Every structure is written in C-alpha cells, then in structure tokens.
Structure 1
Amino acid sequence: MNSVPKLLIIGGIVMIVIGPLWMVGGRFLNLGRSPGDIAVEKEGFKFYFPIVTCIVLSVVLSLVMYVIRWFMR
C-alpha cells in the first residue's frame, strides 16, 4: 500500500479519537481563553485573537511530533 493512503487513514483515526476528547475536555479545559490572548469587545464589535493558545498548542504539538519521530527510528 502506498504511504499516502496510510497517512490519511491514520490521520482519520486520530481525528476520530481527538474529536470526542475535545468535546468532553472542552468543558473542563478552557482552551482558547488563556491569559495573554487578545480580546477586544466594544459596542457592536468583538475581536478575539488566541495568540497564547496558538503558541501553547504549537509547542505541545511540536513535542508530540518529536517524540513520535524519536520512536519511529
């Protein structure tokens, strides 16, 4: 089997597992409302930019990918 279909199947399985965890965990983890995120609310205008959340997710996903690559050797 080609590597692209395997990658798509694994990606689908990962999303199926993460989806319910995200729904349940979203009640307990207030992901997206971290201290340092930019939120501007004025009359008739709302702007939200989750900069700290993006940085935290980037670091966590980078560490996960590093560990996966380390075990794949």
Structure 2
Amino acid sequence: MRAGTIVFFVLLVILLTVVSVQYGLGRLPGDIVVDTGGFYFYLPFTTAAIVSVLLGAVFWFFRR
C-alpha cells in the first residue's frame, strides 16, 4: 500500500469521525469521556474504529 493511500485513509477516518460525532453517532461504549467541571476531554475511540471498519469494507469492495 502506498503512503499516499494510507494518509488519505487516515484523514478520511478522522473527518468522518468528527462529522459522525457532531451529528449523533458519538457517545458509544468505549469512547473516552473525562468531565471534571472546568475540563472536558472526549476521545471517540469506538466511533473511530467503527468508521475505520466501514471505510475499509467499502474500499475493499470497490477494489475487487
């Protein structure tokens, strides 16, 4: 796999993860949320994994 393809795939996963969190897919079990009053941290680990698997399946299907 070429480096450009990997960079494109990673950027697409990041973009789709951000969009999916903003439009309702966020807060899945496995996503890391730390909320301590004045500090809020959210790491959508499970959401990114789901988006990555779906994109991988789509790219695999079209590559065949």
CA shift at 1:33, angstroms?
1.6
Structure having the higher Rg? 1
Q: 1:55 aligns with which of 46, 49, 55?
A: 49
* Structure with the larger RCO, 1 or 2 (CA within 8 Å, 6+ apart): 2
Q: Measure the CA separation in 1 of the matches of 2:35 and 2:60.
A: 38
| TM-score when normalising by structure 2 | 0.61
Q: Which runs of 4+ in 1 moved over 3 A?
A: none
| TM-score when normalising by structure 1 | 0.54
Q: Measure the CA separation in 2 of the matches of 1:58 and 1:49.
A: 15
Number of residue pairs matched by the alignment: 43
- Output aligned runs, 1:37-52, within 5 Å: 37-52=31-46
Deviations 1:29-58 (A, max 9, x none): x31221110000001000000000010000
**Cα RMSD, aligned residues only:** 1.3
Identify unmatched segments of 5+ residues in structure 1.
1-21
CA shift at 1:64, angstroms?
0.2
Q: Percent identity among equivalent residues?
A: 44
Identify unmatched segments of 5+ residues in structure 2.
1-18
